[in-house]
């Protein structure tokens, strides 16, 4: 679990959107990229992010 204070000061490296923690990942509220959390540390690399699923 990521500290709430840390999430408040972090932003998405791709779009600078606000972040939340959901289902063991850090999720951007703006672009919906999902960044993994490994050993309790968020991996905030754009190349490591899961892209949002395309809506049809």
Q: Given this model, what pLDDT does residue 53 score?
A: 79
18 in any annotated domain: yes
User: Residue 19 maps to which CATH number?
Assistant: 2.20.25
Please list the ranges in the chain whose pLDDT falls under 70. 54-56
8, burial (CB in 10 Å: exposed 0-12, middle 13-18, buried 19+)? exposed
- Model-level pTM? 0.88
54 in any annotated domain: no
Q: What is the 3-state secondary structure (H, E, C) of 1-56?
A: CCCHHHHHHCCCCCCCCCEEEECCEEEECCCCCEEEEECCEECCCHHHCECCCCCC
55 in any annotated domain: no
43 in any annotated domain: yes
Per the structure, how many domains does the chain have? 1
Structural domain boundaries enclosing 30? 4-48
Give residue for tokens 């509220």.
29
53 in any annotated domain: no
């Amino acid at each position: 679990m990521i500290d709430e204070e840390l999430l408040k000061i972090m932003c998405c490296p791709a779009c600078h959107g606000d972040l939340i923690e959901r289902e063991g990942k850090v999720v951007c509220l703006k672009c919906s990229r999902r960044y993994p959390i490994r050993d309790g540390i968020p991996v905030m690399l754009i190349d490591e992010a899961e892209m949002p699923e395309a809506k049809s």
